[in-house]
Structure 1
């Protein structure tokens, strides 16, 4: 393949008719402009994305996924009120047309008027979903679903957790997890309890043939309060410099508990959580490196949230969420650095993708743009 042919492969049909090279295209497909470009060109479609993949591709076609939270507006809208894809079945058809091959659920609810009804959180509902996934060349890879809140578990919580494992197996998932941190506490003792709880859940999931995973927001990579003077409740007020989720990784069983790194929130942690008060009262600086956390134990991170951000130091998070491939997070360097090529499952996510009444098609348009940029990622 010569350079010209590779350029065509990289940019696909999104460039077509726009007269842009790859660099110009990536600069242009930002925010609303990105969705507008897709609308003008009529979408990329599976055929445009399914061309021969050259060497150096960082996310192989079978691994390109999306969490349905990104298109939650489409899943939940009334199909009787619009011609846009609505409900699980029609959204699966559109995502399959775009080229996605993996799905991460964010629950099993949809609009009551959609085929199958409001809730598909049942054995029968899972069988219906599995048929629609199969029809569109999609595979369920995970779910942000139910994790018992109590510890020790109540019988009702345990029964519901096992029912979710049964649903996961019907859907063909290798993984089941949550969109929350193991605990929101800053204290070491609470993370000790979280690890005990997750080890127990992980053993139940393993017996069902499922890998259990947790998810991070930026605060999970802030510093653990584990030392220094105690407060009035007997809790530590300072840190030895260990980050919360890294501590959890070190004390939970690597054969039972897995992680889905949200790469956007990990970079927000790099921006926000840079200093801590050491046991002696001094202020220490330690800049977080997401890749350095993943690389030594890369297969413990079977899923990623591929959520992009454009740098904006004026905001509290340091980044604005944008379609994948249109921000400043160096995804090429990240996926090149994690190793174990072909063993990870990146799920495109964008919390602010829904366009509301002003642009109800936006989330699926962003999904189209983001798939093209995911396919274009080269090492």
Structure 2
């Protein structure tokens, strides 16, 4: 048993609520952060957090998920004049003005500085680059166990340790808790996520899931049963609404992808009730957040241009160039300035025809985030 007066038998640093690894990870970045503070302002090029009234996304909270610039992360720097690999891309995003980063895994081109950084040592190197550029990691679209076993829990704990090294406050996934439409599967997912959320909390992290439009479609939870004994109709509750209602708000959180939530508003407009009638029900993304705003610490600030001729009703476009009313949305959700909007555009990479496109769009989107006022 450890008899150090500053550490209790389960390894928590007294007065801080941190385990030893969390404490060491935090202190590792302090010196670099202090040095960076003298040269990199949280204001970035677009102005300080204390900008004029009406600023909806303060400078320190303007973020990006690296999936948007995945082409640049995976690019071979020895064959391209463009920013390539984590180190160069983080430098470029910082220069643009971004201050928050959400990872989408930890793979890069093997010829980029650092090589394979998908490891504890790699996370330590990534943390150095984040600190050097005044960037803060907020989360990661990693893997959340779909089955809880000793092996999957060990892997989850290891992912939490990496998150702590990187200084994240959140750990999550880009997938919905389940792809099923049936209430029994969502009940099982809620039970599993409660367990994992409580476990993430012991690492000082908030566990979050990210939605696509289907997760805001209607849950099959009533009506006649099919041949497998499953319900065929709905009470009108949407899948993620059920999930929120049946998980612990202290341990399970959501990152609303605002684009996909608006696609759900366009697509999922009616359900078949238990009596067989069709009931119209229009989804209101901002109202879902406003009802329990602290359960949505992260957003994907993904914009869409209205296109009724497509299945989704929108085309993905750079932030601020679409038809999603972000000013109204952010005013309605409450806790002004406390959410962390990560710009995402799945279609940003330009391929061989335009290899600089994703970082060029990152600049456009940042400028529009900075200009957004209520």
- TM-score bucket (shorter structure): 0.7 to 0.9
1:154 shift after superposition: 2.3
C-alpha separation in 2, matches of 1:325 and 1:239: 36
Find the counterpart in structure 1 of residue 13 from structure 2: none
1:129 to 101, 107, 126: 126
RCO greater where, 1 or 2, for CA within 8 Å and sep 6 or more? 1
Q: Confirm whether residue 238 of structure 1 aligns to residue 223 of structure 2.
A: no
1:205 to 184, 197, 200: 200
**Mapping for residues 86-125 of structure 1, pairs under 5 Å:** 86-118=84-116, 120-125=117-122
Find the counterpart in structure 2 of residue 302 from structure 1: 297
- TM-score with structure 2 setting the length: 0.87
C-alpha separation in 2, matches of 1:52 and 1:286: 40
Find the counterpart in structure 2 of residue 67 from structure 1: 65
Question: What SS does the corresponding residue of 2:223 show, helix, strand or coil?
Answer: strand
Question: What SS does the corresponding residue of 1:350 show, helix, strand or coil?
Answer: coil
Structure 2 contact 49–60 (Cα < 8 Å) conserved: no
Find the counterpart in structure 2 of residue 56 from structure 1: 54
C-alpha separation in 2, matches of 1:363 and 1:236: 44
Q: Do the aligned partners of residues 251 and 51 (structure 1) sit closer, same or farther apart at CA in structure 2, a change above 3 Å counting?
A: closer
1:146 shift after superposition: 1.7
Q: Confirm whether residue 265 of structure 1 aligns to residue 260 of structure 2.
A: yes
Find the counterpart in structure 2 of residue 26 from structure 1: none
1:49 shift after superposition: 5.4
2:142 to 142, 145, 148: 145
Q: Confirm whether residue 253 of structure 1 aligns to residue 248 of structure 2.
A: yes
1:52 shift after superposition: 7.0
Find the counterpart in structure 2 of residue 217 from structure 1: 212
Structure 1 contact 228–278 (Cα < 8 Å) conserved: yes
Find the counterpart in structure 1 of residue 224 from structure 2: 229
Query: CA offsets, 1:251-279, max 9 Å, x none?
Result: 00101100000000000000000011111
Find the counterpart in structure 1 of residue 171 from structure 2: 176
Structure 1 contact 62–101 (Cα < 8 Å) conserved: yes
Find the counterpart in structure 2 of residue 325 from structure 1: 320
Question: What SS does the corresponding residue of 1:78 show, helix, strand or coil?
Answer: coil
Structure 2 contact 46–370 (Cα < 8 Å) conserved: no
2:338 to 336, 343, 350: 343
C-alpha separation in 2, matches of 1:88 and 1:189: 41
C-alpha separation in 2, matches of 1:48 and 1:293: 31
1:83 shift after superposition: 1.2
Q: Do the aligned partners of residues 94 and 49 (structure 1) sit closer, same or farther apart at CA in structure 2, a change above 3 Å counting?
A: farther
C-alpha separation in 2, matches of 1:47 and 1:307: 22
Higher mean C-alpha displacement, 333-342 vs 172-181: 333-342
Structure 2 contact 287–332 (Cα < 8 Å) conserved: no
**Mapping for residues 158-169 of structure 1, pairs under 5 Å:** 158-169=153-164
Structure 1 contact 64–345 (Cα < 8 Å) conserved: yes
Question: What SS does the corresponding residue of 2:142 show, helix, strand or coil?
Answer: coil
C-alpha separation in 2, matches of 1:160 and 1:241: 37
Structure 1 contact 65–104 (Cα < 8 Å) conserved: yes
Structure 1 contact 49–98 (Cα < 8 Å) conserved: no
Aligned length: 332
C-alpha separation in 2, matches of 1:146 and 1:227: 31
1:343 shift after superposition: 1.3
Structure 1 contact 49–372 (Cα < 8 Å) conserved: no
1:228 shift after superposition: 0.6
Find the counterpart in structure 2 of residue 293 from structure 1: 288
C-alpha separation in 1, matches of 2:336 and 2:272: 38
C-alpha separation in 2, matches of 1:340 and 1:51: 15
C-alpha separation in 2, matches of 1:366 and 1:359: 11
Find the counterpart in structure 2 of residue 78 from structure 1: 76
- TM-score with structure 1 setting the length: 0.86
Q: Do the aligned partners of residues 142 and 72 (structure 1) sit closer, same or farther apart at CA in structure 2, a change above 3 Å counting?
A: same
Question: What SS does the corresponding residue of 1:316 show, helix, strand or coil?
Answer: coil
1:95 shift after superposition: 0.1
Unaligned runs of 5+ in 1: 1-44
